[in-house]
Amino acid sequence: MSPVKRLLLIAAAAVLTLTTGLVDPASAHGSAVNPPSRNYGCWKRWGGDFQNPAMATQDPMCWQAWNADSTAMWNWNGLYRENVQGNHQAAIPDGTLCSAGNTGGTRYSALDTPGAWIAQTVPTSFTLRMHDQAQHGADYLLTYVTKPGFNPLTQRLGWGDLQLVGQTGVIPPGGGQTESDPALNGRTYTVNVSAPGRTGRAVLYTIWKASHADQVYYFCSDVVFGGTGSNPSPTPSTVA
């Protein structure tokens, strides 16, 4: 990374930490936190050490995302589209599902890039957790998984690659659960996911229709089926 680009990233991080790292609950939104969405996971693992060159080898997909646009991670809670009117496939073209159709311009585009994103190991039946910082509530949450044969290492996600594996009904504002993490200062909603017989790497795709407006959030989470729920995320190392 050039010295100029590094300085620009430092300045951007300083500003965005003030505006999004210490989030005002009135203006906050949310994301999938377990298994984590791609940009929430990158922020969680590297937000306090995002210039560490060790990321390039320990977590290369996050490395490319941070370098493409660091605001995608600082704004991990803002990946949404408005005025979708329930027609998700019309609003978001194939190949751009993880960026919600390049919402916000190119900010989230790197999230669509295929590759070895850090994947959480999960059993075939588990509970996905989605955090709503502003306590909007939900008209519904829908969670899909990629079909057998889809390869997240080489393929961009399309609507035809998905099958529904979990959903909720209405969740009222203020419903859900609290979290112990002070950065997650809203309410957490859960989706029971069932994908019997699945093994290996896959992508979960969660759609959250917030209740306060026609505002819909979209999250890609990487998983490996066949485990007991452990998380193989790397521990960032400090490089002087």
What is the per-residue pLDDT across 119-174, written as a single tens digit (0 to 9) for each? 999 999 999 999 999 999 999 999 999 999 999 999 999 999 999 999 999 999 98
Residue 235 is assigned to a structural domain of this protein: no
Q: pLDDT over 90 for what percent of the chain?
A: 78
Residues, the chain, total? 240
Domain-embedded: residue 230: no
Q: How many domains does the chain have?
A: 1
Q: What percent of the chain has pLDDT over 70?
A: 82
Does the pLDDT at position 202 exceed 80? yes
Query: Which residues form the domain of 142?
Result: 3-225
- pTM of the shown model: 0.85
Helix runs in the chain, H state only = 3-16, 38-46, 55-58, 60-68, 71-74, 88-91
User: How far is Cα 65 from Cα 167, in angstroms, rounded to an integer?
Assistant: 29
The answer to whether residue 228 scores a pLDDT higher than 60 is no
Q: Does residue 56 lie in a domain region?
A: yes
Please give the average per-residue pLDDT across 169-184, as a whole number. Answer: 93
- What is the mean predicted confidence (pLDDT) over 23-44? 82
Exposure letters 81-116 (e unless 16+ CB within 10 A, then b): beebeeebeebbeebbbbbbbbbbeebbbbbbebee
CATH of the domain at 158: 2.70.50.50
For residue 209 the two structure tokens come to: 């229709």
Task: With a cut of 70, say whether residue 24 has pLDDT above it.
Answer: no
Mean local confidence (pLDDT), 181-195 = 95
Residue 81 confidence (pLDDT): 95
pLDDT, mean of residues 8-28? 41
Residue 55 lies in a domain: yes
Instruction: Let me know if residue 233 belongs to a domain.
Output: no
Decide if pLDDT at 204 tops 80: yes
Average pLDDT over residues 204-220: 95
Q: How far apart are CA 60 and CA 2, in angstroms?
A: 18
The pLDDT tens digits for 48-75 are 999 999 999 999 999 999 999 999 999 9
Is residue 33 situated within a structural domain?
Answer: yes
Does some domain include residue 203? Answer: yes
pLDDT exceeds 50 at position 26: no
**Two tokens at 213?**
């407006």
Mean pLDDT within 184-188: 94
- Spatial separation of the C-alpha atoms in residues 29 and 37, rounded to whole Å: 14
Is 70 exceeded by the pLDDT of residue 11?
Answer: no
| pLDDT averaged over every residue in the chain | 87
pLDDT at 93: 98
Amino acid symbol at 230:
S
Residue 213 confidence class, pLDDT cut points 50, 70, 90: confident
User: Does the N-terminal peptide bond of residue 152 adopt cis geometry, omega within 30 degrees of 0?
Assistant: no
The verdict on residue 234 lying in a domain is no
Band the pLDDT of 114: cuts 50, 70, 90.
very high
